[in-house]
Chains A and B, each alone.
Chain A
Amino acid sequence: MAESDLALLQERFDYLTERESADHLAVNCPADKLIEFCTALRDEFGYDMLMDVTAVDWDAQSPRFTGIYHFLSTTKHVYLRVASDCPDDINPTLPSLCDLYAAANWHERETFDLMGIRYEGHPNLRRILMWDEYPYHPLRKEFPLAGIDVPLPAADVAEQTKASVIPAPMMGGPFVSSGDGPMSQTEPRARDESWTEKKEKPTD
């Protein structure tokens, strides 16, 4: 079913290209055609549910950011992944799908918060997880895993308690589970236990 969908879609929209995928059908769509394409997806191809909005940071590449959308057809029971490169690497933007899918609202806010992609036309593009004044986007590749030292969001609390936002102590982390074997032996542990907060991470 999914393969025939691809043929139909490509026949109708000549700017689509098939995207390499390990599971479901995936297509690349240029950012300026996204609204037109998704409207047709919803109204004519039965992809009536927007499951997820996220993004990929390709770090040194250009285009650096790719917005990812997962659609589900509740009648055909198939998924479709749509990927759309952000034209600008410095101030990445994508059109907002809020008018098409109500689910896009919070998802796009989350992606904006953590990846810093602006969704043009979003009715309320505010941070959703981090506080409003937070200057960074934590899921970007250049953001350190433990975080960055910044002032506490509440100025009066910071003044009274002298507390600030500190990088989280990693103690050789991140802590990962090997995932196979009995649970007693797959407790999450640091891959590189040669360093701690007291003993600096060796530089190579």
Chain B
Amino acid sequence: MDQKTVAYDSKVEGEVIVTQADAVINWIRKNSVWPMPMGLACCAIELMAAGGSRFDMARFGMEVMRFSPRQADCMIVAGTVTYKMAEVVRRIYEQMAEPKWVVAMGACASTGGMYRSYATMQGVDRIVPVDVYVSGCPPRPEALLDAMIKLQDKIGRESAVKNLTARKANGATPAPEMAGVGKDS
């Protein structure tokens, strides 16, 4: 746990635990990541392997792969995003519940990879905000697990309460963090 958690003294506090809302909310969020497998190419096979018994993502509290975007909060873009598919990827991202995170798995999703071609989007971060990039072509399941643990760390550092109130004040505009995306267009 991070430093925000206040130590619990059962003699003083009885059945009450004192902590900060941020710490609690982040702790809940980061230990119940429900990924949406956006499998588009070979990386998706490694993603399946990561969910299988040998690597077993369940050990890290992120095994609940949801194939409905409304029940997922972390999109794992595994594979080559073509321009024809880009609209669908973005649409599924928009359908996911807030707060949501994106992992770009592998070279293609991160940068277009070896596809220096007219048909391939040169990095999925042009249309969705990416939190963690995973290198490799395709990355091994261990690399994905590492990325997911990195994502948990990142979720743990977020100021959840501030985000909640800010979102409310802004009238819940979708994905305000998109501002800096697509700067080269």
Contact = CB atoms under 8 A, between A and B. Distances in A.
Interface stretch (A12-20, A59-67, A86-94, A154-162): A154-162
A166 interface: yes
Interface stretch (B17-25, B35-43, B83-91, B151-159): B83-91
A130 interface: yes
B118 A138 contact: yes
A36 B93 CA distance: 52
B178 interface: yes
B182 A162 contact: yes
Contacts of A148: 118
A165 interface: yes
Nearest to B116: A168
A146 interface: yes
Interface in B103-159: 112, 114-120, 122, 126-128
B83 A131 contact: yes
Q: How large is the interface on A (under 10, 10 to 19, 20 to 34, 35 or more residues)?
A: 20 to 34
Contact of B112 (A154, A168, A188): A168
B32 to A, nearest CB: 28
A112 B13 CA distance: 75
Given A129-B84, A157-B86, A175 B119 contact: no
A168 B118 contact: yes
Nearest to A171: B116
B84 A161 contact: no
A157 B118 contact: no
- Chain B interface, DSSP helix/strand/loop, else mixed: loop
B118 A147 contact: yes
Contacts, number: 80
A173 interface: yes
Nearest to A131: B84
Nearest to A157: B90
Given A162-B182, A163-B126, A164-B185, A153 B119 contact: no
B185 A157 contact: no
Contacts of B127: 152, 157, 161, 163
Interface in B88-102: 90-91
A100 interface: no
A109 to B, nearest CB: 14
A179 B66 CA distance: 43
A163 B185 CA distance: 6
B185 to A, nearest CB: 5
Contact of B83 (A153, A169, A174, A175): A153
Given A130-B83, A154-B87, 9 more contacts: A146-B117, A152-B83, A152-B87, A157-B87, A163-B126, A164-B182, A165-B118, A166-B185, A174-B116
Interface of B: 83-84, 86-87, 90-91, 112, 114-120, 122, 126-128, 175, 178, 181-185
Interface of A: 129-131, 138, 143, 145-148, 152-154, 157, 160-171, 173-175, 188
28 contacts: A129-B84, A130-B84, A138-B118, A145-B118, A146-B117, A147-B118, A152-B83, A153-B86, A153-B87, A154-B87, A157-B86, A157-B87, A157-B90, A157-B127, A161-B127, A161-B178, A162-B182, A162-B185, A163-B86, A163-B127, A163-B182, A164-B182, A164-B185, A166-B184, A170-B116, A171-B116, A175-B114, A175-B116
